[in-house]
Amino acid sequence: MFLVANTTKKAVIVKELNLHLGVKQAIDLHKVNLAIAPEKSGELRGYISSGAIKVLKQDSKKSKKLKESKKIVNNTIVNNTIDQEELARNIAAIVKQEVSNQNKDNREIMEALSGLSSLVKNQKSTVIVQGQAQGEVITKKKREKLDLDDETLVQIHKRSVDSMTEKAEGNLEYEDQEITDDTMEDDMSLLEDLL
């Protein structure tokens, strides 16, 4: 988790990350698609040190270790060396690890929530919903951690599509339609500058 909030009265744009932070908006940078890893962004560090962006919560070393152990599990999936039952067992193991860390995580979440509540009032697009019962918050966090690992999801789907299409063959052909795009060259150079 890398939960940050815009403390200023105007939107903050972190160009390196392709990130737009609205007024008083809080966001977990590990749960959105960014141009580069937020930890590597000098621009973000600049905003943090100037106080324009406040870090509400960042993964502790212990959480990082937990993530690393998850990565090992993910690599196992990539290597195609396990079957679906093994995958289910791995997921169950992650959940078990998560549960054993509940108390600590819970404290961290509550700290983050209290920081968040002082900053964010009537903010509807915030990641964490304020005022949930303790247990519910923990369940939400667990579910988010399991659901939002995009790379794992993609790897699982790759395997399932590979297996589905193993015996498939077809004769699909397409008719090409050639069209003129006379604004392409000019637009591309403008767009390239922006992105």
Partner 1 sequence: MSNKVYGTDVGTMFFQTATKGTEDKLVIKTTRNAFVEVADIDDIEDTLRQNGWQYVKDGDRYFVIGEDSLRVAKMFPGQVELRRPLQDGVLNKSEDMKMLVLAELIESSVGKSTEKGDVVCTCVSSEAVDEATTSTFHKARLEAMFSRLGYDVVVIEEGLAVIFAENPTITEGEKTYNFSGIGISFGAGRINCVLAYKGMPIVGMSSMNSGDWIDETVSSETGKPISQVTSMKETKLDLGKDNYDDEVLFALTACYKAMISSVIKKFSKKFVEVKSEFDVPLDIVIAGGTSMPKGFCEVFENIVRDLELPFEIGNIKKSSDPRNSVVKGCLRRAIIANKKILKESNTG
Chain positions contacting partner 1, by CB under 8 A:
11, 13, 18, 20, 22-25, 33, 124-125, 147-148, 150, 153-158, 160-162, 164-165, 167-185, 187-188, 190-192, 194-195
- Of the pair 85, 186, the CB lying nearest partner 1 is at 186
Give min distance, CB of 122 to partner 1, in A.
9
Least distance to partner 1, CB of residue 32, Å: 11
Rounded CA gap, 126 and 116, in Å? 9
Asked if residue 16 lies in contact with residue 35, where contact means CB atoms within 8 angstroms, the answer is yes
Please state whether 24 falls in left (phi above 0), alpha (psi between -120 and 50) or beta.
left
**What are the φ/ψ torsions at residue 7 (nearest 5 degrees)?**
-95, -5
**Choice between 40 and 157, CB closer to partner 1:** 157
Q: How far is the CB of 147 from partner 1 (least distance, A)?
A: 7
Identify which of residues 99 and 188 has a Cβ nearer to partner 1 in the complex. 188
Taking the complex as a whole, how short is the minimal distance between the CB of residue 74 and partner 1, in angstroms? 13
Identity at 135, one-letter amino acid code = G
Specify the residue, 35 or 110, whose C-beta has the smaller distance to partner 1: 35
3-state DSSP assignment of residue 83: coil
d(CA 67, CA 59): 10
CA distance 41 to 6: 16
Q: Measured from the CB of residue 121, what is the shortest distance to partner 1 in angstroms?
A: 12
Rg of the Cα trace of the chain? 22
Give whichever of 111 and 162 is closer to partner 1, judged by the CB atom: 162
